[in-house]
Amino acid sequence: MAKNPDEHQELGVTMNLVPEISNKVSGKHIYKKLQLGFSRAIALCCLSNLRHNIDGEIRALDASGCFGLAGVQWAKQFDTGVNIVINVAKGLKEIVETSLLQNQCKTSVKVLDEDSHVTMHSGKYMFIYLEAYGSAVTHFDAVFRSANHNGLVCITCTDTSVFQNKSPETARRLYGANLLQTEYYQELATRVIINNLVTAAARWNKGLKVLLCTFQEHGISVVCRVLRGPKNGNESMASLQNLVHCQLCQARCFLPVHRYIQNTRQLSICKCNSEGLEAPLMILGPMWGKDLFNKAFLFNLLHFGKMHRVPEKYCKLFFLMILESVCCDDQEAETCIVNEINRITFPEKKCCCKTETDNTEPKPKMLKLNATNEKNYDCKNNTKDIYDELQIMKQSSNIPFSVEETNTFQSSAPALFFDIRHHGIKGGNPPKLLSVIEELRSRGFKASKTHFNSCSVRTSADLLVFNDVLQKIWDKTLEAQ
């Protein structure tokens, strides 16, 4: 089948990029929108998850403006149970309505072409997807006014360059935060966006539970559950913190929240000062200081991703995010988790993340809970938690998890990560990521890959330990030569 260059196909929907669209929306804007496939796949899986968890019809809003690709995808994938409203760019209403017909969408959809602030201020929704061109921050007030209790909000910002701190004034103006181009800037960005989500929600007496975050080349997405009530608002606000960052060595730690001025000299985050150097310690943020992921929610998304046949590369990302959110301190535990993901998310087949060469892949080993129970966990409480959670998962054959179960599986991953290219031995090649993870785990620390950056390690070890690990691996390499 010949592919029309003006046709965009995504998640079962074909969108004709007719000239009328390019007349109303700039080419750059369209290009950026088309790159956000992962964000729309997340939105689809979130809506599917919500539909599973909540009885009755769900009011879902695609507040993205532009040509309503996400909303059309929902209309195509869901026959019942969802009442969809799509807000598109001015003058594109008829085109999107035609597109719904062309894609044989069975659900009735209301298409609007008004300011999305107006749409959100004039109605309540259980699911809101907002995919902004640039920053979405000006919409946050409207989003949280509109979001129902226990509803989900999925926000995507595309102003990734702001977070590389190319213009600190812009970051300050839009997000009210101090940024820095650090090795972990992707996570910093995500946490600063959540800070803005939390404060916007709190003004409407609402709080949030962060379920998933991702930073891709073209956009940053955050998914959270909205919880009504000032108590929830206060709880979320209490998780906002500043981060102290040493500009010399890249060490960092969250600044404890105090009402009084503290002696910053007592903040010994690294040894730079004691080495006779006056280390400039920067205060970054404010930002979200708690977890970025919910393990059970990620499991659910992987399940629904498979159900809706989202592309393999997106399944892989969900998979990676689950491992990142667990951040094991033990190889065996990680292997068990991988097997468990295979078992409960892909019961009839092996994991979709394993590529075509299915018959050559080793069969996933079954989890041996009896054997693992006999292990001595005295020094590794964290691993014990993982095994306990796996037990619950094993007993719970009913994936997707319920909202209550989701609450028990909040991520236990440490905040922030180190990029192996920025540390270690001058002149030496960076070591293999897996050997660094292995060595950190052998010393009892949590360590895992991170989807934010393929050269980085998320770990509970501090910078001194991390550098020591790199040194040890380097020494071993020299010995071997």
Shortest distance in whole angstroms from residue 411 CB to Zn ion: 28
| 3-class DSSP state of 341 | helix
Stretch that binds Zn ion, among 128-136, 178-186, 262-270, 421-429 (CB under 5 A): 262-270
Contact 240, 216 (CB under 8 A): no
The residue (of 46 and 188) whose beta carbon lies closer to Zn ion is 188
Stretch that binds Zn ion, among 129-137, 161-169, 248-256, 444-452 (CB under 5 A): 248-256
Q: Which residues contact 359 (CB under 8 A, 6 or more apart)?
A: none
Residues 41-70 that bind Zn ion (CB under 5 A): none
Shortest distance in whole angstroms from residue 248 CB to Zn ion: 4
The residue (of 178 and 448) whose beta carbon lies closer to Zn ion is 178
Q: What stretches of 51-138 adopt beta strand conformation (E)?
A: 58-62, 82-87, 109-112, 125-131
Say what the alpha-carbon torsion angle 424, 427, 432, 435 is, to the nearest 10 degrees.
Answer: -50
Contact 249, 270 (CB under 8 A): yes
Indicate which single residue of 89, 272, 310, 336 sits in contact with Zn ion (rule: CB under 5 A): 272
Strands 13-16 and 7-10, by their bridges, are antiparallel
Indicate which single residue of 270, 301, 322, 336 sits in contact with Zn ion (rule: CB under 5 A): 270
Rg (CA), the chain: 23
Q: What stretches of 163-310 adopt beta strand conformation (E)?
A: 206-215, 220-228, 240-246, 252-255, 281-288
Shortest distance in whole angstroms from residue 273 CB to Zn ion: 8
Interface characters, 279-318, with Zn ion (x: CB under 5 A)? x---------------------------------------
Stretch that binds Zn ion, among 74-82, 83-91, 241-249, 326-334 (CB under 5 A): 241-249
Q: Is residue 253 within the footprint of Zn ion (CB under 5 A)?
A: no
Indicate which single residue of 249, 255, 317, 337 sits in contact with Zn ion (rule: CB under 5 A): 249
The site for Zn ion, by CB under 5 A, has a size of 7
Stretch that binds Zn ion, among 47-55, 239-247, 341-349, 383-391 (CB under 5 A): 239-247
Stretch that binds Zn ion, among 76-84, 242-250, 352-360, 445-453 (CB under 5 A): 242-250
Indicate which single residue of 54, 248, 267, 465 sits in contact with Zn ion (rule: CB under 5 A): 248
Tokens of 66: 């532009």
The residue (of 249 and 352) whose beta carbon lies closer to Zn ion is 249
Residues 313-352 that bind Zn ion (CB under 5 A): none
Shortest distance in whole angstroms from residue 270 CB to Zn ion: 3
Strand order across the beta sheet in which 240-246 lies: 252-255, 240-246, 281-288
- Which one-letter DSSP state was computed for residue 464? H
Q: What stretches of 160-304 adopt beta strand conformation (E)?
A: 206-215, 220-228, 240-246, 252-255, 281-288
The whole-angstrom separation of Cα 163 and Cα 171 is 7
Note the residues at the interface with Zn ion (CB under 5 A): 246, 248-249, 251, 270, 272, 279
